[in-house]
């Protein structure tokens, strides 16, 4: 039986380093139309892969709820793939993944809101509340406005 690798990492992560010949379908854009995309590989074993295996396990469950494909998780993800001596296609460019940038910016804004509310004026706590509300919205809707904004910056163009 033939097999195919579906990489569920975000597009910016995939474009920096990936397994040659793999297909990128980011977890963040998972919809029922995935089933249609995966049907093209119905006669093959579909190996779901991410950086470490966590997102791949979540996607495996989502696929199981929406369509019937022969899928399995590549345990350990891209990290394990490389540890086993397998090759990846690497773009020689330093890059911080978008979601890590989101964590850095949101953490900074929450910290600034708390510190400024203690030092300058109590109303600065609303900055932290605003950031928290944005994170809650992103978690519920799988839509991160900050990630979309950060992806437009010149250093995120790959």
Catalytic residues, by residue number, are: 50
Q: By the 8 A CB rule, do 58 and 51 touch?
A: no
Strand pairing of 23-24 and 17-18?
unpaired
Pairwise CA distance, residues 53 & 124, whole Å? 39
Tokens of 128: 């932290």
Q: By the 8 A CB rule, do 94 and 109 touch?
A: no
Report the 10 Å Cβ neighbour count for 53.
18
CA angle 140, 145, 146 (to 5 degrees): 115
């Amino acid at each position: 039986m033939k097999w195919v690798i579906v990489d569920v990492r975000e597009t910016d992560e995939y474009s920096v380093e990936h397994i040659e010949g793999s297909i990128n379908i980011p977890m963040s854009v998972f919809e029922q139309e995935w089933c249609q995309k995966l049907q093209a590989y119905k006669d093959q074993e579909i190996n779901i892969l991410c950086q470490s295996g966590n997102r791949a396990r979540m996607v495996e469950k989502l696929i199981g709820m929406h369509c019937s494909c022969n899928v399995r998780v590549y345990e350990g993800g891209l990290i394990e793939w490389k540890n086993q001596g397998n090759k990846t296609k690497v773009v020689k460019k330093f890059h911080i993944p978008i979601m890590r940038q989101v964590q850095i910016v949101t953490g900074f804004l929450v910290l600034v809101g708390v510190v400024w509310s203690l030092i300058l004026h109590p109303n600065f706590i609303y900055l932290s509340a605003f950031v928290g509300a944005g994170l809650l919205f992103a978690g519920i809707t799988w839509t991160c406005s900050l990630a979309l904004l950060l992806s437009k910056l010149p250093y995120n163009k790959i």
